[in-house]
Amino acid sequence: MASEKTASLAPRTAKDAKKSDDSLRLLPWLFLAPSLAIYSVVVVYPMIYSAWLSLFRWDGVAPIKIFVGLDNYGILLTQNDVFWIALRNNAIWLVAALLLPTSIGLGLAILLNSRFRGSHIFRSVFYFPSVLSLAVVGLIWTWIYHPDLGLLNQALTASGLQSLTRNWLSDPNIALYPVIIAATWNAVGLPMLLFLAGLQTIPEELHEAAKVEGAGPVRRFLYVTFPLLRETTLIVLAITAINALKAYDIIYAMTNGGPANSTQLLSTWMYFLTYNYNQVGLGTAIAVVLFLLTLIFAIPYIRFMTRKT
């Protein structure tokens, strides 16, 4: 069976392939073994085990785990207020991530796609924050938001807008938004790069043709560029959403979930419950919820990535 398939795939080598057929069947596994082994042990097995652990009440240390079925999920939904705060914050974060870095990235990509002197320098400029770690980004922006010494309040005061100055990261009503701005600064680079790559696949002649037909820049964007960027846009949105749900370091560096848990995300609240409060069952249940949310965006993405083979 297998030998016939191989033969039909590569008729020229059929004769030679026959003798090494058995090794041919095993050899790919040999090439894959190291990667698959370490990946399965480090990523896949823990994932499945986490889902299983979310069905137990356990403090992480005691020898006995108590099976409680879906109770942990029930507790989260009905008794854990911070879970709802975190869920709401994740939703806000997700919407912001789908709107801000993507549209800024698209705008920059269109601007910098045209070849003018120095365009590649400006590409580097706007990509630069993306190479910094989110912990570093968080630290830098924490100083910008510092109530007295921070640049933001100083700039507001200097321009006569003193009434707008805030204790940005200490006010539970607004603290999430400054963090989102800092995260956006870091997140613009990737959509910009992907859109630039997408724009480069659009033949110049199409634009020329539209120009000749009398289409202005806005119409050219709407009817030529944007439809041809559809595929890129879908990838960008999926990757941005998946990354947004992974946000963790920047919260940890800037607010540590505070003040009064107002900036907790599911990812940070999972850490708190598991490692600070020893509620392993609840913590893993949150991880599962986070994973399910990710799947909404990931399934179309994975379908797309595996489709073209």
Partner 1 sequence: MSQPPAPNSSAAGKTTKVALFYLALILATLLWFTPVITLVLTALKDAGDFAVNGAFSLPKFIRWANFSEAWETGVKNYFWNSVIVTGFKVPIGIALESMAAFALTHMHFKWANRIFTYILIGLIVPVQMTLVPLTLLMNALNLIDTLTGLTILYIGFGVPFGVLVMRGFFRTLPTAIIEAARIDGCSWFRIFYRIALPLALPAVISLCILDGVATWNEFILAQIFLRSDELRTLPLGLVQFSTQFSTQYDQLAAAVLIAVVPVVIVFLFFQRYFVAGMGGAVK
Q: Which residue lies nearer to partner 1 by CB, 58 or 176?
A: 58
Smallest distance, partner 1 to C-beta of residue 95, A? 18
Q: Among 254, 259, 261, 294, which Cα is nearest to 277's?
A: 261
Q: Are 268 and 252 in contact (CB under 8 A)?
A: yes
Q: Which residue lies nearer to partner 1 by CB, 88 or 246?
A: 246
Smallest distance, partner 1 to C-beta of residue 135, A? 4
Q: Which residue lies nearer to partner 1 by CB, 69 or 214?
A: 214
Residue 293's alpha-carbon distances to 72, 87, 296, 299, in angstroms, are 17, 10, 6, 11
Find the length of the chain.
309
Pairwise CA distance, residues 46 & 54, whole Å: 12
Q: Which residue lies nearer to partner 1 by CB, 171 or 233?
A: 233
- Give, in degrees to the nearest 5, the angle at Cα 240 between 237 and 245: 125
Smallest distance, partner 1 to C-beta of residue 227, A? 18
Q: Are 6 and 22 in contact (CB under 8 A)?
A: no
Pairwise CA distance, residues 92 & 287, whole Å: 18
Q: Where are the beta strands (DSSP E) in the chain?
A: 56-57, 66-67
Q: Which residue lies nearer to partner 1 by CB, 176 or 241?
A: 241
Q: Are 97 and 244 in contact (CB under 8 A)?
A: yes
Smallest distance, partner 1 to C-beta of residue 305, A? 6
Smallest distance, partner 1 to C-beta of residue 301, A? 7
Smallest distance, partner 1 to C-beta of residue 239, A? 8
Residues forming beta bridges with residue 66, ordered by sequence position: 57
Q: Which residue lies nearer to partner 1 by CB, 103 or 124?
A: 124
Instruction: Tell me whether the omega of the peptide bond preceding residue 203 falls within 30 degrees of 0, making it cis.
Output: no
Q: Which residue lies nearer to partner 1 by CB, 27 or 95?
A: 27
Smallest distance, partner 1 to C-beta of residue 290, A? 5
Pairwise CA distance, residues 165 & 152, whole Å: 8
Instruction: Tell me whether the omega of the peptide bond preceding residue 227 falls within 30 degrees of 0, making it cis.
Output: no
